[in-house]
Structure 1
Amino acid sequence: MPGGARGGWLVALLLLLVAGAGSAQAQNGLPLDSVPRGRFRQPTVRVGEIVEYELSSRHAPRQEVIFPDSAADFAPFEYVGRRYTPTRTRQGRSLDQATYRLRTFRLDSVLTLTLPVTVLRGRDTLLVPTAPASIRLVRTAPATPISGPPVLRQSLALRPVPARFNYPYWLAGLAGGLLLAGGLVLAFRSRLRQRYRRYRLRKNHVYFLAQYARHVERFTLSRSLTNMERAITLWKNYLSTLEHTNITSLTTREIVARYQHDADVRLALQLADRVIYGNLFTEDDTETDLAFVLLRNFAERQYAEVNA
């Protein structure tokens, strides 16, 4: 080979080596070992199955690198979650790693994903994409030859349908019932109030008669002044509740005056005072029994008057 031609070949070979070294030193302005890399941790995936995608980047310790978050474009995959590994620095190089959990519902045989990594350089930012990473889709449904649409079979038989609860009609009925009840209450409010008042009076009167009879019976059996005092106290409390007054603290003279010197009240209370405070009591004394009867009769008359 002539000397001139050989020299030309040597120059061309030297230029190729220099160009290759320059491409190995930088990509997008970054050293080759600083370009982020992404890969799938498994070779295949099924539709809807979670797959892990690992993204890593080696860079200078002072260089700021930002990985994609949930707002990034993961097509043809959908973002599910992620986890980060703390930055590790060894021999003047830092390593950042993140694992993304993705899933897909695409039916392509091969799915490819590339993610951009943001590199901060002062006030400027640089988006560095990763090399495409591929994963193969495994089909679970058997492949069937396409021979036209399937033949449909006609069926006009009625199928039983379970009855469903009709909420709108029931709610409308309930609202109408409430409105009707409210109208009736407003129309007959006075009568209903009066009937309820009479019911309470009758209930309280029946309770008073039962308790009063119990105290009288205990007094008849034991002839104890304590039972007599309890019976008279019960009588005073009942009349106070019935007439919305307070006669429990009144003396016998004041009570008699309160009821216009009623003969039954005056006689009954005088007999009771003579037995309780005067200790004028004998075992065969029937005046105390008369006093109980007069007080009960007067309470019934007062109840009938108030109830009317």
Structure 2
Amino acid sequence: MQERRGKYLISIIVLLSSINLGAQEITVKGGFVEDSLLIGQDVNYWVSASYPPDLEMVFPDSLYSFAPFEFSSKIYYPTQVKEGLAFDSTVYTIQSFEIDKVQYLNLPVAILKGNDSTIINTPIDSIYLTELAPMVTDTTKLKTNLDYQLVDTQFNYPLMYYIIGGLIILTIIILLAFGKKILRWLKLKKLHNEYAQYADIFATYIRKLKTDPEPSTAERALFLWKKYHERLEKIPFTILTTKEILDYEFTSELKNPLQNVDRMVYGRKVNEFVFQDFQQLEEFSQHRYNEAYNKIKQNQTDTIPKTKDEETEIAATKITQFGLTLDQLNEELRHGGKFVIYYYTISIIVFSFRRSSKVKFISNDENGVIKGLPYTLITFFLGWWGIPWGFIYTPHSLYVNLKGGKDVTAEILKENSN
């Protein structure tokens, strides 16, 4: 509303200034449109001039110092010529940040004629500052209020984001610098704790069997032994028979102690020396624990042990069955040919079986991944459905097959050289 009233006043001033242009040769006028202002509020100051058309009139621009006011913008009206006189007018929008009760302003207008110039100032005009708060005097008394005011608590989210971001960056730096060492230390710590817990309980069972060789105690001790090695070896020992356990290359030394334990557990034949068989099982556990510990310490890859069917297949493979002469074989091997086997996994809920294919020969112009595709597809569709071993054997089988199979060239050449 105030802006509209200001525009009306400007239009009236411009109209009044244009009346009676011929009364005098050169006339310069100016003044405030409003009669009062607030600190920082826009106010308007108008300037008009009438002069002979052969002269050039120059009004203040934005670079001029409007002190004590600050320039904001201006509106320039086109020159009008009436009754032999030219008429110009400009309205400036300015603000004041001073606290004087009355503030003054007049502006210069330059008249240019040839190389000469003449400055004519507008009449000084004043404007009053409107005070929103009374001035504080020495006699003013402050009113105190000591009542507790409840203020809503606000959480400093920006600070929280900075802290979280800093912690994430610090964690990434630590992991990049020491990640492998930290991971190795955690694995070793976990491995040690699991073995220590198992060894304490297993030693208790051995002491009980030494004094009281009960089949039920032997059964619990055997289950504990299988459970520990299931986690250590990543092989489902708890669902395997003794014959299936002995199929693995690293368990051949356990034949006698496991068979003696089976007679007592399943045949219920009490054997007062069975504690010695469990001592052999405990020595085996300690040996396998030390091997696993050293593997982690030396950054060796954790692999699933191969079964006897794989060893048997390698031992039964003859180079002649592939229809190659010795010269042809050497030529193929020089150009990248190799003997490989593929893994396939089949799972049925709690049962998972990992088996190996027959030995295949991959010539230098064949693709090992494509040749092992049948075993890969069997594993992909039938390997996942066993808990938990389907999720352990299946990725390993897929990894081997998608690498082009497990290279057993060295084993085949060694077997055929004997």
Length-normalised TM-score, structure 2: 0.36
Length-normalised TM-score, structure 1: 0.46
Identify which of structures 1 and 2 has the higher relative contact order when contacts are C-alpha pairs closer than 8 Å and 6+ apart.
1
